[in-house]
Amino acid sequence: MMQGTEQMKQVAIIIPAYNEAENIDANLSLIKQHLQTVPNVLFTLMVVDDGSNDETAAIVLRRSESDAQIKLLCLSRNFGKEDAIHAGLAHARAYDAAIVMDSDLQHPPALIPLMIEKWQESFPVVEAVKKSRGGEPRSKQLLVRGYYRLFNFFTELRISGDTDFKLLDAQVIEAYLQLPEHNRFFRGLIKWMNYPAAQLAFDVPKSVRLDSTWTRIGLFRYAISSITSFTAFPLQIVTVLGAITFVMSLLIGLMVLWDKLGGNAVDGFTTVILLLLLIGSVLMFSVGLIGTYVGKIYDEVKSRPNYLVDKKRSNVENTEKK
């Protein structure tokens, strides 16, 4: 029997949770049901409580006391999903692989056995890819599509349809944790590292919650941050805009001169106002963009940790430092 457990692979399922008290208990049970069918793998469900201000942590802690398969990693405040994932991965270094999934069942646990199969076929990354978006309003779908177009165009990383629902082999986890940057976009970085990846398509079910925990503003900020962390291309747009404005000013300048030399009364005000508006707006746009990057540099230079663990309330083995 001892031998049997030695051959077992250890896989952590990392589940970031923010104010999920209502459903987390039932969802954990459901996820566990799907794990029973997988042979030769020992699963640990690591719930990362991302500073919930409801009972989420207490519920998971209570469960973990009677169920060795469930662990709680408790962050000291709400750091956001990206950092919760990072914290989970840093505590999963002792495992052979980790699966990251949402806690609201929008990442169907039925896919886990298939992911494990692909992993055993020796794919270091298995990504679940969306075929459809579960009952999201049209307006959001349009915005999301626009965002992906932009991201693809700027960065040449194809991430449309990608989700955070992924299996990562230990070597990939290690490589991810070695990356020095603080501002992280999990999906983009995994693509960027470019390990051989298997894809599994799925339809996103409706969330068990009524609302997404993301606000529109939150998503917008996430979109801007994910693009600016991967490319400085927007800065080049400023250069292009500058060039276009320069050509236009030259043309207008020539026209003005022509009129003046011809002795015609110059329609001065229009030209001046047009130029002012044009140059003013381009300047403001550039300053805004530069500001975004300066902000990023500031963030990286600060070297502030991405997350802080509330050690008293967590019962996950600490593997942050190897």
Give the footprint of Mg ion on this chain (CB under 5 A): 104, 106, 207
127 binds ligand UDP (CB under 6 A): no
Q: How many residues bind ligand UDP (CB under 6 A)?
A: 17
195 binds ligand UDP (CB under 6 A): no
**Judging by beta carbons within 10 Å of its beta carbon (0-12, 13-18, 19+), is residue 158 exposed, middle or buried?**
exposed
Give, in degrees to the nearest 5, the angle at Cα 159 between 19 and 30: 40
What Å distances lie between residue 249 and 207, 246, 257, CA to CA? 53, 5, 12
Q: Please list the residues that pair with 15 across neighbouring strands.
A: 47
Measured from the CB atom, the residue of 176 and 307 that comes closer to ligand UDP is 307
Token digits for 275? 């130029």
102 binds ligand UDP (CB under 6 A): yes
81 binds ligand UDP (CB under 6 A): yes
Minimum Å gap between C-beta 298 and Mg ion is 31
What is the side-by-side order of every strand in the sheet holding 70-74? 70-74, 41-49, 9-17, 97-100, 162-169, 125-132, 197-203
73 binds ligand UDP (CB under 6 A): no
Give, in degrees to the nearest 5, the angle at Cα 219 between 188 and 164: 35
89 binds ligand UDP (CB under 6 A): no
**Residue 23 binding partner per list Mg ion, ligand UDP, none, with a CB distance cut-off of 5 to 8 Å that depends on partner kind:** none
104 binds ligand UDP (CB under 6 A): yes
**Residue 81 binding partner per list Mg ion, ligand UDP, none, with a CB distance cut-off of 5 to 8 Å that depends on partner kind:** ligand UDP
Q: Are 34 and 108 in contact (CB under 8 A)?
A: no
d(CA 321, CA 268): 68
82 binds ligand UDP (CB under 6 A): no
124 binds ligand UDP (CB under 6 A): no
212 binds ligand UDP (CB under 6 A): yes
17 binds ligand UDP (CB under 6 A): yes
84 binds ligand UDP (CB under 6 A): yes
**Residue 249 binding partner per list ligand UDP, Mg ion, none, with a CB distance cut-off of 5 to 8 Å that depends on partner kind:** none
Measured from the CB atom, the residue of 154 and 222 that comes closer to ligand UDP is 222
225 binds ligand UDP (CB under 6 A): no
Minimum Å gap between C-beta 303 and ligand UDP is 22
Closest CA to 206 of 307, 297, 135, 140: 135
Measured from the CB atom, the residue of 30 and 238 that comes closer to ligand UDP is 30
Token digits for 196? 């051989």
Minimum Å gap between C-beta 107 and Mg ion is 8
Query: Nearest 5°: phi and psi at 102?
Result: -70, 155
Minimum Å gap between C-beta 83 and ligand UDP is 8
Element holding 74 (H helix, E strand): strand 70-74
Minimum Å gap between C-beta 96 and ligand UDP is 23
Which of 14, 31, 73, 80 touches ligand UDP by CB under 6 A? 80
**Residue 176 binding partner per list Mg ion, ligand UDP, none, with a CB distance cut-off of 5 to 8 Å that depends on partner kind:** none
**Residue 214 binding partner per list ligand UDP, Mg ion, none, with a CB distance cut-off of 5 to 8 Å that depends on partner kind:** ligand UDP
Buried-exposed string 127-142: b where 16+ CB fall within 10 A, e elsewhere: bbbbeeeeeeeeeeee
Which residues lie below 8 Å from residue 247, measured CB to CB, with a gap of 6+?
Answer: none
* DSSP helix/strand/coil, 233: helix
Tell me which residues touch ligand UDP (CB under 6 A).
16-18, 20, 50, 78, 80-81, 84, 102-104, 106, 207, 212-214
